[in-house]
Amino acid sequence: MLISVSNKLSLFIVLFALSLLTSPLFAADISVKVDRNPVNLNESFQIIFSSTDKPDGEPDFSPLEKDFEILNKSQQQSTQISNARVTKVIQWVLTVMAKHEGTLMIPVINFGQDSSQFAALVVNKIQVAAKSNEDLFLQVDVSNTRPYIQEQVIYTLKLYRKVNISQAALTEPKLANAVIEKLGEDKNYNSDYQGENYVVTERKYAIFPQRSEIMLIEPLTLTADVIDANQPRYNGFFNRQNTRTQRVNSEAITLDVQAKPAAAADKYWLPAEQVYLEEKWSADIAHTKVGEPVTRTLSLLIKGATQGALPELYMDNMPANLKAYPDQPTLKETAQDDSIIAYREEKIALIPGVAGSYTLPAIEISWWNTTTQKMEVARIAERTMTAIAGANNSVAPMPTIVTETAIPTATDGNATIKITSPAYETLWFWLTIFFAGAWFVTLIYFLSRNRKATKTETNPALTEKVQEINKALKKACTNNEPVQAKEALIQWGREQFNQSNLTKIAAQCAPVLQSEILVLNAVLYGGKNEKWHGATLWTAFKENQPITSKRKTEKEPLPALFKI
């Protein structure tokens, strides 16, 4: 097939145009540069990719991750005017940090079908935490490099800086098989170090190693944006501050953790700086009554230990006929500036069953004094509790009052002669009838008035709620369900006494119900998985007469029989 000359010319022009379109001559020119060269290891710098034309696609910066850590990426556009020519420039700015020293190559970055140029830079190695004249460095120290197991070690970090930083991120200390807690707030102050003035930020941690072995506290790393000190102050409000990201590391610290000493081989192990043990009583234990509870409060405060290391204070070694019902313990922990303070409080209700004296055993807590390196004992001495038989709390019936009217008599020597008169007897007869009738009418009046007042003061909603609570408590007692019984008693306590604690509710009740509520409390919080029988509690509840109700009744005077 023959092709004419004109057709050949047209075909050549088309092929030439296509070759120009696909030629590198029409690809976007993407240059690359760094903001400074050489750079130091652990200091950030910027890699800037620039183009006056829009590239074919979005950049893929993943090849940089082999030798560099990318900290930040941004894109910006600017317009430049030169010799009446307007040029638009697109820039991709990457803040990076070299992963190792040496001469490193910035690889080709693909922007779709377009590609950037190569570049090279030199990375120098410097001391991480320099010994002198550094603008930014970390120092770490511990209070004891050879602690005992579970002994508190104070780890102190100090950040020294002569430069201003806008942002900073600091890693936390890491140590396997240890409990680490931060102490207090950071402190800032000025310090002269090796002839230079520094701003120091100090932070402390409490470390409790849990195993006797050699342990390594890993170095801490600070990454901060350092503000360029050479930047002029008159740069303008809209100009961004020039910063460089700098990273510094602390030194690692080794702990040689010792096993507990031979002096504490057969005793409870509790290393601490100080230990305080005390007790308080809700009443005078030298004058208690049978069946009435007395609350003993034991408190243990320790400096240099966590709350998990605190021992139990109550021991099940009470004398016979003295019932003990421990409440759920209270545990607290406070991080002060120089130590951890742990606190434990236990409340035990003691109820004597018979009259007599009861000797409570001494309480002893053995502990290792980390200051003197000796075993010590915190002790509460023996206590003697004396109980007497309680008075009968039942209300005796009021005796019948008989009023006798004396009849005048005349005496002559040893003989007594009664003077009687029919008219006198008739007068007293009618007076008696009159006063009896008046008393009867008054009685009917007050009875009818009190009945109306009772009807007026009765709240149907409150009565219905009390009936529901009683029904729920009866059901819980019948089914021997201690949790449901506790909930019903707390609802009853809120309505009757405005109390939501079983121990405080028990204090408002008669001795029999007090004892049963404390038994229920012991079953719930005693941790002995005892089986509870609710029949006795329900019987005591039905027969209960609240102490507050009795006192209120006794204080309210009876209304006058006659009103003027």
Q: Is residue 433 part of a domain?
A: no
86 and 43 share a domain? Answer: yes
pLDDT of residue 240: 60
**E strands, 228-289, where?**
243-249, 253-256, 271-272, 274-281, 288-289
346 and 303 share a domain? Answer: yes
Specify the range with the lowest mean pLDDT, choosing from 324-338, 439-453, 501-515.
Answer: 439-453
245 and 292 share a domain? Answer: no
Specify the range with the lowest mean pLDDT, choosing from 206-215, 249-258, 389-398, 416-425.
Answer: 416-425
DSSP, res 266: T
pLDDT of residue 9: 47
pLDDT of residue 97: 86
Mean pLDDT within 75-87? 75
Mean pLDDT within 281-308? 92
Specify the range with the lowest mean pLDDT, choosing from 197-211, 260-274, 300-314, 529-543.
Answer: 529-543
DSSP, res 377: E
145 and 120 share a domain? Answer: no
CA dihedral 463, 466, 472, 474 (to 10 degrees): -100
Q: Which amino acid is located at 497 in the chain?
A: F
pLDDT of residue 16: 46
141 and 76 share a domain? Answer: no
pLDDT of residue 45: 83
Specify the range with the lowest mean pLDDT, choosing from 137-151, 450-464, 485-499.
Answer: 450-464
- CB-based contact 380:363 (threshold 8 Å): yes
Name the pLDDT band for 63 (thresholds 50, 70, 90): very high
Closest CA to 104 of 78, 83, 76, 123: 123
- CB-based contact 225:168 (threshold 8 Å): yes
- CB-based contact 492:538 (threshold 8 Å): no
pLDDT of residue 444: 73
Specify the range with the lowest mean pLDDT, choosing from 5-14, 277-286, 399-408, 434-443.
Answer: 399-408
DSSP, res 4: -
pLDDT in tens, 362-374: 999 999 999 999 9
The number of distinct structural domains making up the chain is 4
pLDDT of residue 550: 41
Mean pLDDT within 537-553? 65
Backbone dihedral region for residue 560 (phi beyond 0: left; psi -120 to 50: alpha; all else: beta):
beta
β 196-209/243-249 pair status: unpaired
Closest CA to 289 of 156, 161, 391: 391
pLDDT of residue 467: 85
Distance CA 258, CA 373 (A): 13
Closest CA to 58 of 41, 75, 45: 75
DSSP track, 102-132:
EEEEE---EETTEEB--EEEEEE---SS-SS
- pLDDT at 527 exceeding the cut of 60: no
Domain limit, last residue, from 355, 373, 388: 388
43 and 149 share a domain? Answer: no
**Residue 422 CB: number of other CB atoms within 10 A?**
7
322 and 224 share a domain? Answer: no
Q: Which amino acid is located at 319 in the chain?
A: P
222 and 283 share a domain? Answer: no
pLDDT of residue 331: 93
161 and 245 share a domain? Answer: yes
Which carries the bigger pLDDT value, residue 119 or residue 435?
119
Mean pLDDT within 487-505? 84
Domain limit, last residue, from 388, 410, 438: 388
pLDDT of residue 381: 94
CATH code of the domain covering residue 141? 2.60.40.680
247 and 283 share a domain? Answer: no
83, two tokens: 């010799």
Question: Using CB atoms within 10 A of its CB, is residue 159 exposed (0-12), middle (13-18) or buried (19+)?
Answer: buried
Q: Is residue 284 part of a domain?
A: yes
The contacts found for 234-239 with CB under 8 angstroms, 24 or more apart, are none
pLDDT of residue 127: 46
- CB-based contact 140:175 (threshold 8 Å): no
Distance CA 488, CA 485 (A): 5
Name the pLDDT band for 447 (thresholds 50, 70, 90): low
CATH code of the domain covering residue 319? 2.60.40
Q: Which residues contact 153 (CB under 8 A, 6 or more apart)?
A: 142, 143, 144, 147, 206, 207, 208, 209, 255
87, two tokens: 């040029």
% residues pLDDT > 90 (the chain): 35
Name the pLDDT band for 357 (thresholds 50, 70, 90): very high
Residue labelled with tokens 């991750």: 65
- Which residues, listed in sequence order, are joined to residue 208 by a DSSP beta bridge? 179
421, two tokens: 């008169």
Q: How far is CA 16 from CA 2, 7, 291, in A?
A: 22, 14, 114
Q: Is residue 17 part of a domain?
A: no
Closest CA to 350 of 414, 292, 304: 292
Q: Is residue 141 part of a domain?
A: yes
Q: Is residue 278 part of a domain?
A: yes
- CB-based contact 545:554 (threshold 8 Å): no
110 is in which domain, residue-wise? Answer: 26-124
Name the pLDDT band for 146 (thresholds 50, 70, 90): very high
Mean pLDDT within 343-370? 93
pLDDT of residue 413: 40
Backbone dihedral region for residue 112 (phi beyond 0: left; psi -120 to 50: alpha; all else: beta):
left
Helix, strand, or coil here: 299?
A: strand
Domain limit, last residue, from 66, 90, 124: 124
Distance CA 33, CA 369 (A): 63
- CB-based contact 256:217 (threshold 8 Å): no
Distance CA 250, CA 445 (A): 93
Name the pLDDT band for 344 (thresholds 50, 70, 90): very high
Mean pLDDT within 474-495? 88
- CB-based contact 535:494 (threshold 8 Å): no
- pLDDT at 316 exceeding the cut of 50: yes
Which carries the bigger pLDDT value, residue 234 or residue 473?
473
pLDDT of residue 43: 77
Distance CA 160, CA 130 (A): 11
Helix, strand, or coil here: 464?
A: helix
Q: Which residues contact 194 (CB under 8 A, 6 or more apart)?
A: 131, 132, 133
Name the pLDDT band for 462 (thresholds 50, 70, 90): low
68 and 145 share a domain? Answer: no
- CB-based contact 113:28 (threshold 8 Å): no
- pLDDT at 512 exceeding the cut of 90: no
Residue 38: cis peptide before it, omega within 30 degrees of 0? yes
pLDDT in tens, 381-404: 999 999 998 654 433 333 333 334
Q: Is residue 435 part of a domain?
A: no
Q: Is residue 341 part of a domain?
A: yes
DSSP, res 149: T
Q: Is residue 130 part of a domain?
A: no
pLDDT of residue 504: 79
Specify the range with the lowest mean pLDDT, choosing from 289-303, 336-350, 485-499, 527-541.
Answer: 527-541
82 and 119 share a domain? Answer: yes
pLDDT of residue 206: 95
**Please, what is the average pLDDT of the chain?**
79
